[in-house]
Amino acid sequence: MAASSSLLFTSLLVLLTFADSSVQVLGLGVGINYGQIANNLPSPTRVSYLLRSLNISRVKLYDADPNVLVAFSNTNVDFIIGLGNEYLQNMTDPIKAQNWVQQRVQPYLSRTRITCITVGNEVFKYNDHQQWSNLLPAMQTVYNTLVDLGLDKQVSVTTAHSLDILSVSFPPSAGAFRQDLGEYLHGILNFHAQVKSPVLINAYPYFAYKDNLNEVPLDYVLFQPNQGTMDPFTNLKYDNMLYAQVDAVYSAIKALGHTDIEVRVSETGWPSKGDENEVGATPENAGLYNGNLLKRIEQRQGTPAKPNVPIDIFVFALFNENLKPGPASERNYGLFYPDGTPVYNIGVQSYLPELIYSSGSTTNGFLFCCLLILAMACLIFS
């Protein structure tokens, strides 16, 4: 017992010292995707300290995990929460949508800042036409529920697309949506314009690089110095692929008649490891991609077509997720290993407290309070 309380004390001193902010932290405008397809992640309470050490205050979830929402009570972290594709059918039913909002969102709103709900993720990537048809009605029904409950000013509604929705992505000014999605995207864009919510895209220059090794220069996708490419129709110069992808989506939206909808990046990232055929998936490249991206976000850069709109980005992802199916890269997008050590250096200091562990976050909060009181007592009586 004596040994373990002195261990507690030492660890808490570290924690308290850290809270005094003797560690230099960066002010990052970036958001982070907090994916949880893993069985070895730290508790949400510990994660809240990790994010605080990184000064990251925007988090995107793929669900509405109450453990996370509770663990981030009374923090200044903004959350995008998600309704998975499996909910789309039910969310077209106003009663079910209302039940979901009342049970999964409303109870947490007084303490946790939930600013946005993504209804479905990459729905058009899969060939399930029933889902395609359900998407807009589900978005509308969730939105109408928020209106009925007086929450629509606080919480917006959108969905996240993969770049598979484009048939042309280069040059950016020629960006166009796939023909077969026209009837769906028309309605969805009208919805965005009406409720003033952004279009979210999951954009991975890594995929374009990996699939076109001979055509795509690595420096261009990694935000490294390079010759860049010129859009022959606009004469705008692109020095990286991500900005070209974003502007291609702006062009596609414009082609459907909208100039008033913002495009944001709900996911981007680079794997630190992959299978043998996944060329480029290395810690060095991932460190360059994410490190260079952070610098640009800090500079509040816009894309060439929208220079005055600082690009809004959620990096994928916070942790490596060991239970994700698919090629090895899928399990290796994290900035951190589950034990809180960085997978590679992106020039940012981080800290995951060691002692606060348990599976339930309520227990965590309680445990943390006890530890804090114990540490205070130790300080006073030592």
Ligand X SMILES: *[C@@H]1O[C@H](CO)[C@@H](O)[C@H](O)[C@H]1NC(C)=O
Active site members: 122, 267
Kindly indicate which of the ranges 83-91, 101-109, 220-228, 355-363 contains the residues binding ligand X, using the contact rule CB under 6 A: 83-91
Q: Minimal CA–CA distance to 172: which of 262, 240, 246, 226?
A: 246
Q: How many residues bind ligand X (CB under 6 A)?
A: 8
What amino acid occupies position 333? Answer: Y
Residue 326, interface with ligand X (CB under 6 A)?
Answer: no
Q: What does the alpha-carbon distance between residue 337 and residue 34 come to, in Å, rounded to a whole number?
A: 13
- Sign for the CA dihedral angle at 304, 306, 309, 315 comes to negative
The minimum distance between CB 95 and ligand X, in angstroms, equals: 9
The minimum distance between CB 146 and ligand X, in angstroms, equals: 19
Measured at the CA of 264, the angle between CA 338 and CA 94, to 5 degrees, comes to 90
Residue 358, interface with ligand X (CB under 6 A)?
Answer: no
Residue 62, interface with ligand X (CB under 6 A)?
Answer: no
Residue 144: alpha-carbon gap to chain centroid? 25
Q: Minimal CA–CA distance to 149: which of 190, 191, 105, 111?
A: 105
Q: What does the alpha-carbon distance between residue 382 and residue 380 come to, in Å, rounded to a whole number?
A: 6
- Please name every residue paired with 314 in a beta bridge, in sequence order, or none if there are none: 31
Nearer to ligand X, 138 or 199 (CB): 138
The binder of ligand X chosen from 86, 215, 260, 276 (CB under 6 A): 86
Residue 49, interface with ligand X (CB under 6 A)?
Answer: no
Q: What does the alpha-carbon distance between residue 81 and residue 210 come to, in Å, rounded to a whole number?
A: 30
Q: Which two tokens stand for residue 256?
A: 């459907």
Q: Phi/psi at 124 (nearest 5 deg)?
A: -80, 0
| Cα dihedral value 314, 320, 324, 326, nearest 10 | 90
Indicate the pairing of strand 58-60 with strand 78-83.
parallel
Nearer to ligand X, 26 or 216 (CB): 26
The binder of ligand X chosen from 34, 49, 72, 87 (CB under 6 A): 87
Residue 55, interface with ligand X (CB under 6 A)?
Answer: yes
The binder of ligand X chosen from 67, 75, 90, 133 (CB under 6 A): 90
Residue 31, interface with ligand X (CB under 6 A)?
Answer: no
Site for ligand X in 10-29 (CB under 6 A): 25-27, 29
The minimum distance between CB 193 and ligand X, in angstroms, equals: 29
Residue nearest to ligand X (CB): 27
Nearer to ligand X, 90 or 131 (CB): 90
Nearer to ligand X, 107 or 232 (CB): 107
Nearer to ligand X, 87 or 177 (CB): 87
The minimum distance between CB 20 and ligand X, in angstroms, equals: 12
Non-local CB neighbours of 190 within 8 Å, separated by 6+ positions: none
Residue 131, interface with ligand X (CB under 6 A)?
Answer: no
Binding site for ligand X (CB under 6 A): 25-27, 29, 55, 86-87, 90
